[in-house]
Amino acid sequence: MSQAPPVPEATRRRHDREIVALAVPAFGALVAEPLFVMADSAIVGHLGTAQLAGLGVASALLTTAVSVFVFLAYATTAAVARRVGSGDLQAAIRQGMDGIWLALLLGAGVIAVVLPLAPGIVDIFGASATAAPYATTYLRISSLGIPAMLVVLAATGVLRGLQDTRTPLYVAVAGFVANAGLNAGLVYGAELGIAGSAWGTVIAQCGMAAVYLTVVVRGARRHGASLRPDTAGIRASAQAGAPLLVRTLSLRAVLMIATAIAARLGDADIAAHQIVLSLWSLLAFALDAIAIAGQAIIGRYLGAGDTAGAREACRRMVQWGIATGVLLGLLVVAARPLFLPLFTSDPSVKDTALPALLIVALSQPISGVVFVLDGVLMGAGDGLYLAGAMVVTLAVFTPVALLVPAFGGGLAALWGAMTLMMATRMLTLWLRTRSGRWIVTGATR
C-alpha cells in the first residue's frame, strides 16, 4: 500500500473496536466447527477400531467436499457487505438469498453423486476391507446433510455481510451441543452404531440451517426482499464464487502435496507432519477470524464509496495480523514442550516435529499478513486476482516441495517449503493491495 498520512487515534480506536467486535465471535464459530468431528470421533471410537477408521475416511471426504464450497460464505459476505455499505438492505438480503439458493442446488448435486458412488469413493481413498463398510454407511447418510451444511456456509456469509458474527457463534455452539447429544443418544441409546452418529450430524446440521433460514427470512420480510429463486442472481453468485473455488482448490492441492511428500519421508515424518499441520490449522483459525472481519468491513466501506476508510481499515488490519502472528509464534515456542506430548510419546516423532514447529512459529507474522490481505481482497470482490495468485503460489511451491525428498531433506525442509509458499502468497497479495487496483466502489463490483 502507498504511503499515507498518519491516522488519527480516534479512527484507529474505531477500527480496533470494529475488528474486535467481528473477529472474536468469528473465531469462536470457527473453532466450534472442527468440534463436530472431534465429538463424532470420541463417541464412535468406543464402538471399535474399524468403526473409527471408517469414520476417519468418511469425515475426511465430507470435510474436503464442504471446504471446497467455502466460497459460498466468502463471496456472499463480500456481496452483501457492499449492498449494506450502499444503504440498500433489501438488495443485500436479496443477494444473500441468491447465495442460499445456489447452496441448495450445489448440495443436491453432491448428493446425486455421493449416494450411488459412495463405495467406489471410499475404495479410492484406501479404506481397509474392515473399515470400508462403516465408511460407506457414514458417507451415504451424512451426504444427506450436505445441502444443510452448504446453506449454513451461505447464510453465515449473509450475516457476516450484515456485520453480524455473533449469531453464527451462537448457532455453531448450539449445533455442537446438539450434535454431541444426538450422537450419544443415537449411537448408544438407540443402538444404531456408526449410522446413529451420521444421523445425529445430519439432524444437527439441518437444525442449524433451519435457524439460519429463519433469521434470514425474517430479515427479508422486514425489508421487503423476495425469497424466490432468481436465475440471474444465482448465476451471478456462481460467477463470483468460481474464482474463489479455484483459489480454494489450489490451496487444498498445496496441503495434499505436502502430506504426500511427508508420507514418503517415513513413518516418523508423516506422524510429525500431522501434528504440526494440526497446530498450523488451529493457528489459522485465529488469523482467519481477522480475515473474516476484513471481508465484512472492506465490503461495507467500498459499497459506501469510502475509499479512504477502506485503505485505513486495511492498514490497521495488517497491523493486527502482524501483531497476532508474533503473539501466536511466541505461544508456539513457549508451549511446544507441552504440546508435543499431547499427540505422541515417540521420541523420534518429537525430535522430527520440533524443528518444524519452530519454523511454523517463525512464519506466523507472515501468515498474519497473508490471512488479512486475503480477507481484504475477498471483501473487495477481487476473486480473479486471488485465484491467479494462488495458482502462481502452487506453481512455486510444487517443484520446491518435490525437491525435498530428492535432496534428502526432512520434515523441517518441507515446512521451509510451506513457509516459502506463504511468503509467495504475501508478496502477491501485498503487490495487489499496494497497487490500489482492488479498490472498486459501488453496490456491486
Instruction: Encode the chain (445 residues) as per-residue pLDDT tens digits.
Output: 445 556 678 888 999 999 999 999 999 888 877 777 778 888 998 899 889 888 888 888 888 888 889 999 999 999 999 999 999 999 999 999 999 999 999 999 999 999 999 999 999 877 788 999 999 999 999 999 999 999 999 999 999 999 999 999 999 999 999 999 999 999 999 999 999 999 999 999 999 999 999 999 999 999 999 999 999 999 999 999 999 999 999 999 999 899 889 988 988 888 888 888 888 988 998 899 999 999 999 999 999 999 999 999 999 999 999 999 999 999 999 988 887 887 778 888 889 999 999 999 999 999 999 999 999 999 999 999 999 999 999 999 999 999 999 998 999 999 999 999 999 999 999 999 999 999 999 999 8
> How buried is 103 (Cβ within 10 angstroms: 0-12 exposed, 13-18 middle, 19+ buried)?
buried
Lookup: cell for 145 = 446433510
Backbone angles phi, psi at 154, to 5 degrees: -65, -45
Res 2: pLDDT: 47
| Distance separating alpha carbons of residues 84 and 79, to the nearest angstrom | 9
Taking the C-alpha atoms of residue 134 and residue 129, their distance in angstroms, rounded to an integer, is: 10
Half-sphere exposure of 207 (CA within 13 A, CB side): 17
Contacts of 360 (CB under 8 A, 6+ apart): 276, 279, 280, 283, 332, 415
The single-letter code of the amino acid at 144 is L
